């Protein structure tokens, strides 16, 4: 794994973090916090949201949050494959755990 590829993945993770902030704010501002009553889907036995404005907003936030988790775990795992300092590795893992 090259440092350049690691940096690209880390910057992509940062972009996804920005998206989760925006989608979370959208959920809050529109009052869509209970748009999906079940987890991980919106309805029991059905993974996709109903045709409801609030359900789409809440479900979109869940999808972006899932992407954030994947990118964070990828950055934490890749920190051990590139030449980084111990502090940088621990920071990557701490971010993934938090």
Spatial contact of 75 and 96, defined as CB atoms under 8 Å apart: yes
Q: Any idea which residues carry the catalytic annotation? A: 58
Beta carbons within 10 angstroms of residue 58's beta carbon? 22
């Amino acid at each position: 794994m090259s440092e350049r590829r690691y940096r690209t993945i880390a910057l992509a993770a940062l972009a996804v973090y920005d998206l989760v902030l925006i989608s979370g704010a959208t959920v809050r501002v529109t009052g869509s916090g209970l748009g999906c009553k079940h987890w991980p889907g919106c309805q029991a036995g059905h993974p996709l949201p109903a045709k409801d404005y609030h359900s789409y907003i809440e479900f979109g936030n869940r999808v972006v949050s899932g992407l954030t988790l994947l990118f964070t775990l990828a950055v934490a795992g890749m920190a051990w494959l590139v030449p980084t300092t111990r502090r940088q590795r621990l920071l990557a893992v701490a971010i993934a755990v938090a």
